[in-house]
Every structure is written in C-alpha cells, then in structure tokens.
Amino acid sequence: MDSPRPAPASDFLVNKKRVRVLGLSFDDAVKIFFGGNAFVSVLVLALITYFLFQEGFGFFGQNHRNLLTYRQAGLEYVDYIRTQESAHTALTRYLSDLRLRQFSHATLEKKLTPAAANESLVAFDNFAALYGDSVEPLRGLVSELTEQATAIKTKFLVAEDKAVERQQLTAEGKIAEAAAVQIETVDFAVEVKALTGTLPAYKELAAEFIKKLDAALLTAPAMPTAELTTRLERFRQLSSDFTATFPATTRSLETWDYTRAVPWYQAFSAFLFGREWLTASFWQDWYGIVPLFMGSLMVSLVALLLAVPMGVGAAIYVNQIASAAEQRFIKPCIEFISAIPSVVLGFFGIAVLGQLLRWLSQQDALAWVPGFPFSERLNILTAGCLLALIAVPTIFTLAEDALQNVPKAFKEASFALGATRLQTIIKIVVPASLSGIISAVLLGLGRVIGETMVVLLCAGNRIAIPDFTAGLAVVTQPVHTMTGIIAQEMGEVVRGSIHYRALFVVGLGLFFLSLAINFLAQKIVNKYRISIG
C-alpha cells in the first residue's frame, strides 16, 4: 500500500486539493493532536516514576554513608553498652510496676491508708533503689563515651562540609578561597582508640554491676500474694537473663572493628526492615519503614474490616433486594458520601469521633471490649472508622457493578429450580460476581492505603510499631503512616538532604504498592470472570 504509484488524477470528477503541512493534512494533524493528548497519561505515569526515582534514589547512597559514619565514628560501639543500660531501665520499670501493684493491693485489699501502705513497702523500696542505683557507674561510662563519639561524628561531618565547600569554590574558579578552607582530617584509628581504650574499665564495671545486681536481688522482700510472688520470680528470671547477655556484649565490644565495611545492601535492608524511624536526633538518624508500613497496614485493616461487610452488604441489598424507589434514593446518597472531602472527615475525627470513642470506651458497660478504656483519643480505631467511610462508596459502587453484570438468566434459573431469594443471592449471584467483588475490595484497599488527610489528622502520629502483644487492644494505639509522614515532614526538610530523599523513597514505595494493588485487582477480574455466554 505504501509503495509510491502515479496518482491517477483523472479517476475522479472532483478533485479536492488538501493543504499539507509537513506532509500532514488538517485531519492528520487533528488526529495527532488528540493522540498526543491521550499519550499524556502514559507520559505522566512515566514522569511520576522518573521523578520519584530521581529525587529518592540518592537516599540509598546517603544512607550507606550514614551507616558507615555510625560505625566509623564509634557510635555503634557505644550503642552496645547503651543497649545494656536501656535493658536495665526496662527492668527497673518492671519493678515500679510491681510496686504499684503492691501498693494497690495494700490500699484496696488490706484497706491501709496510703501513708501506711508506703510504710509497709519500705523494704521493697530499698531493694528497688539498690537495684536501680547499681547501673550508675555504667551510665557514667555511657554518657562519657556518648560525648566522645558525638564529638568524633561532628568533627567528621564538619570536615565533610568543608570538603564540599572547597569543591564548590574550586568549581566556581575561586582557587585562592578554596585553598584557604581549612579541612581537618579525621583519623578514625586515633579517635576511636579513645573509645576502645575504655574496654578494660568497662569489663571491671560490668563485673561489678553483675555483683551488685545479684546482691540487690538477695535483699528482695517477700510478696504478699501468690500472684505477686510469681511476678517477682519472673523478675528474677528476667534479671538473670539480662546478666547472661553480658559475655556476648563483651565479645561484641572486643571484636568490634571500625574498619569493617558496611555492605552496600545494608543501605536497602536498613530501610526496608529498619524498625525505627528517627530523625533530627542528636545521636543517630534511622530511616526504617517498618513502623510506618505497619501503621498504614493496621489502619487499613481496621477500615476494611468495617467497610467490606457494610459496602458489600449494601451493594447486595441495593442490587438484589431494594425496590426501584429505594435504589434511586440510596445510590446518589452514597455517591454523595464519596464526595465528602477527606480533610473534613479528618476534622470530624478530631472534633467529634475521637472524643466520642474515648467516652464510649470509658463506660463501665463496655469495659469487656478488648482495649477499652483507652486514653489516646486519636488512634488506629478512630482513623480506621473514618477511612471505612471513605472506602465504603468505592467498594459499594464497584461491587454493585459486578452484581449488575451477572446475567439475569442465572437468577431466573435458580428461582425456577425453587431456590429462595436468599439462596439465590448467596449461592448464585454472589459467587458469579465474586471476582468483581474481590477486586472492588482491593481497590477499596488501594484508596484507603493512599489516603492522607484522615490518617494525618486522626491516627495519632506516634512513630512506633504497634505492640501486638496487647492482642485486639492493639487497635487503640496511636500510629504513624507512610502517607502521613510524607505530608507531615516534607514541609520541614532541607531539599536534597537524606531525610528529604527518604520521604521520596517512602512515596516511591507507596506508588509501587498502589500499582501492585491495581494490577492484582485487574488480574483477578480478568482471570476469574465467569465466562458468560
């Protein structure tokens, strides 16, 4: 067809001359214009990927350097000992909890006055004080080492900044100024010696520490009830577990070497599996996505747990049971709910729902509910309830579409065989549209996980992995989410810093998560659609 051939001009009676620019007629140009506009969506998707990568990918290099500095400046070394100190602090917290229990036992069961109760606990207080104070020498060492390590780190960072300054000046052609920049070289071998030199002192301290702990344990008074006695036994166990970790720590300290390389994959694994998101700290910044991801996941799960039965139930009702007049009323109403802006819902959560849920949780009649009563009014539950309201219209609309697409013949055949309406719905209509319903739920999940304002305002914004040992009560804890952290911290970070790039990487994760959810939803619809022919 494309081969040039002589134009048989005389074939037609009327010949219309078309104006051609660059070989294109007007109609071709129009087509290209429309096609170009259609291509914008592909372009946007590509640009999103590109810019998220461009801004975010430098994070991994920076994080690698961050981790390297952590080791070279000896922060890692100090953290070995610091971990011991914080483990001891956790134990003393156990003791104060034990004291609280004894105190309430004394006041409630034995009906002692608070003063008398305190009197009866003097022996225990002495024991607790002895146990608590035994850490003091170690604490002194830690704070001394902390100062030294921070000094090394600061020195190193300043030197790096200066190097960058010199580079910039050289690039600008200001050779004289560049040469004038004083760069202090940091010799880690010498600097770190000051830290590792304390090892013999630490060993002595540790031995002393164990002795003191054991001595303190011997002075523990007897407990008034069997339950408290088992608690004290548990404490003894924990304490001996704690002292059992000492040799391992000493070994880590002995074998610690600042020159050991940080493998490149740690920059990734520290982000993907890091359990801490800690920024702008005086000691060491950590960028671990796990707490944020868990937060997003928990909030979404609660939302789906509420939204799926409601949304699918409503879809079944409207599509299969409701009268035409009811349908005409309900459908626009639910569409209307989907138009409520999420920031307004978030505000409603702060102003009303949070307080309402907390008030409900403090009612005696509801004390049996796990996690009740709670004191944080902004938590997973509050955010989850509001997100459910956001997910419901999505799930409802798509599930209703799926139900609508089930051929009438299926239903009629079922009725003809004598099935009741409920049997038809549960055994015929819903299974036939199941792929559509599942993809509706998945798209609802995508909507919820990407929602920003509600979680930013109502999830409590505490960066911590939810404590799953609390059982179902976990839903009353505050969390922070992936979307929330971007919205909250992006306004405050320095462009190009590691923190800024880390937020872009979180965005990248969110982007791919949403693509994966979308992909899965499409796959399910296409693969498991019942062939209706």
Partner 1 sequence: MSALNRHILQSQPSAARRWEAAAVWLFRSATYVILLCGALVFGNIVFKGSKTVFTTTAPFINVAFLTEAPESLYVFEYQGKKREMGDREFRAFKAQHPDASNVKSESYVYSAGGIFPCIVGTVLLVVGSMFIALTLGVSAAVYLSEYATQGRVVTAIRLAILNLAGVPSIVFGLFGLGLFVIYLDWNVSLIAGWFTLALMVLPVVITASEESLKAVPKGFREGSLALGATKWQTIRKNVLPYALPGILTSSILGIARVAGETAPIMFTAAYVVRDKLPWEGLTSVSDFFFQGVMALPYHIYVVSSKIPQNEYTERVQYGTAFVFLMIVAAIATSSILLRNKLRNRYKW
Site residues (CB under 8 A) for partner 1, limited to 469-528: 483, 486-487, 490-491, 495, 503-504, 507, 510-511, 514-515, 517-519, 522
Contact 76, 108 (CB under 8 A): no
Phi, psi of 286 (to 5 degrees): -120, 135
CB-based contacts of 247, cutoff 8 Å, min separation 6: none
Q: Which region, judged by CB under 8 A, interacts with partner 1, from 34-42, 88-96, 169-177, 237-245?
A: 34-42
Least distance from partner 1 to the Cβ atom of residue 295, Å: 14
* Secondary structure letter of residue 153 according to DSSP: H
Task: Tell me the per-residue interface mask from 251 to 290 with partner 1, x by CB under 8 A, - otherwise.
Answer: ----------------------------------------
Least distance from partner 1 to the Cβ atom of residue 378, Å: 10
Least distance from partner 1 to the Cβ atom of residue 326, Å: 9
Q: Residue 410 and residue 408: Cα distance in Å, rounded?
A: 5
User: 466 or 484, CB closer to partner 1?
Assistant: 484
User: 2 or 187, CB closer to partner 1?
Assistant: 2
Q: Does 457 bind partner 1 (CB under 8 A)?
A: yes
Q: Does 333 bind partner 1 (CB under 8 A)?
A: yes
Query: Looking only at residues 385 through 404 of this chain, which bind partner 1 when binding is defined by CB under 8 A?
Result: 389, 392, 396
User: 323 or 469, CB closer to partner 1?
Assistant: 323
Q: Residue 186 and residue 275: Cα distance in Å, rounded?
A: 31
Q: Does 321 bind partner 1 (CB under 8 A)?
A: yes
Q: Does 417 bind partner 1 (CB under 8 A)?
A: no
User: 123 or 321, CB closer to partner 1?
Assistant: 321
Q: Which region, judged by CB under 8 A, interacts with partner 1, from 277-285, 326-334, 357-365, 431-439?
A: 326-334
Query: Looking only at residues 180 through 209 of this chain, which bind partner 1 when binding is defined by CB under 8 A?
Result: none
Q: Does 237 bind partner 1 (CB under 8 A)?
A: no
Q: Does 117 bind partner 1 (CB under 8 A)?
A: no
Least distance from partner 1 to the Cβ atom of residue 60, Å: 17
User: 194 or 330, CB closer to partner 1?
Assistant: 330
Q: Does 122 bind partner 1 (CB under 8 A)?
A: no
CB-based contacts of 146, cutoff 8 Å, min separation 6: 78, 82, 283
In the block, tokens 């990734």 appear at 268
- Give the one residue of 2, 5, 21, 27 binding partner 1; rule: CB under 8 A: 27
Burial class (CB in 10 A: 0-12, 13-18, 19+), 441: buried
Least distance from partner 1 to the Cβ atom of residue 312, Å: 8
User: 389 or 465, CB closer to partner 1?
Assistant: 389
- The amino acid sitting at 275 is R
Contact 383, 454 (CB under 8 A): yes
Q: Does 26 bind partner 1 (CB under 8 A)?
A: yes
CB-based contacts of 51, cutoff 8 Å, min separation 6: none
CB-based contacts of 467, cutoff 8 Å, min separation 6: 474, 477
Q: Does 415 bind partner 1 (CB under 8 A)?
A: no
Q: Residue 439 and residue 19: Cα distance in Å, rounded?
A: 50
Q: List 287's β-bridge partners, or say none.
A: 277
Contact 220, 232 (CB under 8 A): yes
Least distance from partner 1 to the Cβ atom of residue 320, Å: 8
Q: Which region, judged by CB under 8 A, interacts with partner 1, from 156-164, 193-201, 340-348, 402-410?
A: 340-348
Angle of helix 498-528 relative to helix 482-489, nearest 10 degrees, comes to: 150
End-to-end distance of the chain based on CA atoms, in angstroms?
39
Least distance from partner 1 to the Cβ atom of residue 485, Å: 10
Q: Does 360 bind partner 1 (CB under 8 A)?
A: no
Q: Report residue 176 as tokens.
A: 């004289």
Q: Residue 113 and residue 101: Cα distance in Å, rounded?
A: 15
Q: Does 34 bind partner 1 (CB under 8 A)?
A: yes
Q: Could you tell me how far CA 4 lies from the centroid of its own chain? A: 63
Query: Looking only at residues 46 through 85 of this chain, which bind partner 1 when binding is defined by CB under 8 A?
Result: 47-48, 51-52, 54-55
- Give the one residue of 108, 180, 201, 351 binding partner 1; rule: CB under 8 A: 351
* Secondary structure letter of residue 277 according to DSSP: E
Binding-site size for partner 1 (CB under 8 A) equals 86
Work out whether the CA dihedral 63, 66, 72, 78 comes out positive or negative: negative
Closest to 301 (Cα-Cα) out of 82, 504, 474, 75: 474
User: 81 or 454, CB closer to partner 1?
Assistant: 454
- Give the one residue of 154, 423, 497, 526 binding partner 1; rule: CB under 8 A: 423
CB-based contacts of 360, cutoff 8 Å, min separation 6: 366, 372
- Give the one residue of 114, 263, 332, 471 binding partner 1; rule: CB under 8 A: 332
Q: Residue 51 and residue 121: Cα distance in Å, rounded?
A: 63
Q: Residue 329 and residue 314: Cα distance in Å, rounded?
A: 13
- Give the one residue of 100, 158, 179, 344 binding partner 1; rule: CB under 8 A: 344
Q: Does 89 bind partner 1 (CB under 8 A)?
A: no
- Give the one residue of 288, 311, 444, 466 binding partner 1; rule: CB under 8 A: 311
